């Protein structure tokens, strides 16, 4: 049984990390016009400032989650926070669009390590009877980051420049790193000794790259081919995982629980729609309507606030329906 001090430390550290990553994602959208102006980026190239991070996070999320189960969740979480903090500093010092997008990829990899382990640490530390409360607090903090991102991002961009958004992540990241070494005791590796599914991870990664890059170049023929290849990759991934002895993603979690499956599908549709809207609204409000970053942030802050009210209901539904 984990002690009360370990539980408090795990909840505090995971919650800080859960604030950090969505805050970064929602605040960067506000800074995109300023970034584009400084580096002379068109709308397509500018979209990769956001997409490169999301793509890297998505590609590495499942593999790093599995690696964390095998080699220690706290270890991967720590590596993730260190990489995320360092890459945030590098993003702020970028001198070209190429460097910024490259460092955003590194930031996405660090984010994947955080996403795949933060909540897992909470489920390892808290018993079933206390898990719902801990996860509820974590969800609330996540949406606090999403809600404050546009507001604070607009203020920072207007008064201190877009680099200040990335620099603001550095001290918070350093605080999390210090707390991990100082307060968070123990390690959790529930799949220690099992083999890593390289084949499944490769199919998963290539599938996501094909789909996301394909959509970015539509309606060109290359985009159509990549999206089709990605769709076939989904089928290949499911088939591979069903036969793998130690799958990187247990497909039975979805096959045996329809409520869990469709609640995750609903969350996917929700996030897909809301993240796209935030990106386009930021460009529209600042380029077309001529609003300042601060004014645009005030308008965009309403969206995550509404999500913060209603999404915990879906999150709680997923927790209740999730298989043990």
DSSP 55-99: HHHHHHHHHHHHHHHHH-HHHHHHHHHHHHHHHHHHHHT--SHHH
CA distance 47 to 43: 6
DSSP secondary structure letters along 287-315: IIS---HHHHHHHHTHHHHHHHHHHHHHH
With contact defined as beta carbons under 8 Å apart, do 74 and 182 qualify? Answer: no
Which of 189, 187, 190 has its CA nearest to residue 10?
A: 187
Query: Residue 266: its pLDDT value, please?
Result: 81
Q: 3-state class of 260 per DSSP?
A: helix
Cβ atoms within 10 Å, residue 258: 10
Closest of 64, 46, 58 to residue 268, by C-alpha:
58
Quote the pTM value: 0.84
Distance CA 196, CA 180 (A): 26
Per-residue DSSP letter, 250: -
Predicted pLDDT of residue 319: 47
Non-local CB neighbours of 15 within 8 Å, separated by 6+ positions: 137, 138, 141
309-324, pLDDT tens digit by residue? 445 444 444 444 455 5
* pLDDT per residue as tens digits for the range 33-50: 889 888 888 877 888 888
Under DSSP, is residue 112 helix (H, G, I), strand (E, B) or coil?
A: helix
> What is the per-residue pLDDT across 250-283, written as a single tens digit (0 to 9) for each?
888 787 778 878 877 887 787 777 777 777 777 7
Evaluate if residue 73 carries a pLDDT over 80. Answer: yes
Distance CA(89)–CA(227), nearest Å, equals 34
Domains, in order of start, for the chain: 4-197+244-321 (1.20.1250.20)
pLDDT band at 121 (very low <50, low <70, confident <90, very high): confident
pLDDT digits (tens, 9 = 90+) for 4-35: 777 888 888 888 888 888 888 888 888 888 89
Q: What is the mean pLDDT of residues 283-307?
A: 72
Helix ranges (H only) for 217-257 are 221-243, 252-255
Angstrom distance (rounded) from CA 35 to CA 107: 17
Residue 108 near residue 135, CB atoms below 8 Å: no
Q: Which DSSP category does 193 fall into?
A: T
Query: For residue 163, what pLDDT is reported?
Result: 92
């Amino acid at each position: 049984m984990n002690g009360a001090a370990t539980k408090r430390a795990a909840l505090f550290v995971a919650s800080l990390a859960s604030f950090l990553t969505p805050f970064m994602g929602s605040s960067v959208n506000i800074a995109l016009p300023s970034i584009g102006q400084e580096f002379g980026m068109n709308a397509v190239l500018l979209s990769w400032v956001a997409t490169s991070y999301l793509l890297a996070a998505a590609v590495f999320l499942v593999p790093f989650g599995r690696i964390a189960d095998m080699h220690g969740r706290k270890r991967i979480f720590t590596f993730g926070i260190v990489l995320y903090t360092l890459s945030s500093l590098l993003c702020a010092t970028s001198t070209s669009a190429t460097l910024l997008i490259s460092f955003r990829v590194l930031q996405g990899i660090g984010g994947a390590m955080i996403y795949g382990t933060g909540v897992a640490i909470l489920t390892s530390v808290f018993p079933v009877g206390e898990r719902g409360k801990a996860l509820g607090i974590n969800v609330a903090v996540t949406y606090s980051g999403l809600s404050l991102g546009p507001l604070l991002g607009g203020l920072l961009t207007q008064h201190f420049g877009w680099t200040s958004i990335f620099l603001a992540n550095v001290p918070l990241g350093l605080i999390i790193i210090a707390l991990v070494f100082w307060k968070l005791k123990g390690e959790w590796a529930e799949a220690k000794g099992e083999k890593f599914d390289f084949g499944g991870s490769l199919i998963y990664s290539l599938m996501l790259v094909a789909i996301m890059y394909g959509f970015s170049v539509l309606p060109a023929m290359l985009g159509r081919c990549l999206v089709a290849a990605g769709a076939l990759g989904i089928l290949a991934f499911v088939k591979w995982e069903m036969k793998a002895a130690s799958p990187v993603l247990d497909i039975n979690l979805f096959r045996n629980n329809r409520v869990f499956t469709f609640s995750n599908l609903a969350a996917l549709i929700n996030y897909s729609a809301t993240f796209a809207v935030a990106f386009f609204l930021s460009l529209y409000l600042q380029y077309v309507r001529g609003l300042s970053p601060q004014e645009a942030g005030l308008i965009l802050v309403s969206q995550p606030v509404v999500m913060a009210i209603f999404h915990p209901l879906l999150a709680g539904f997923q927790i209740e329906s999730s298989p043990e």
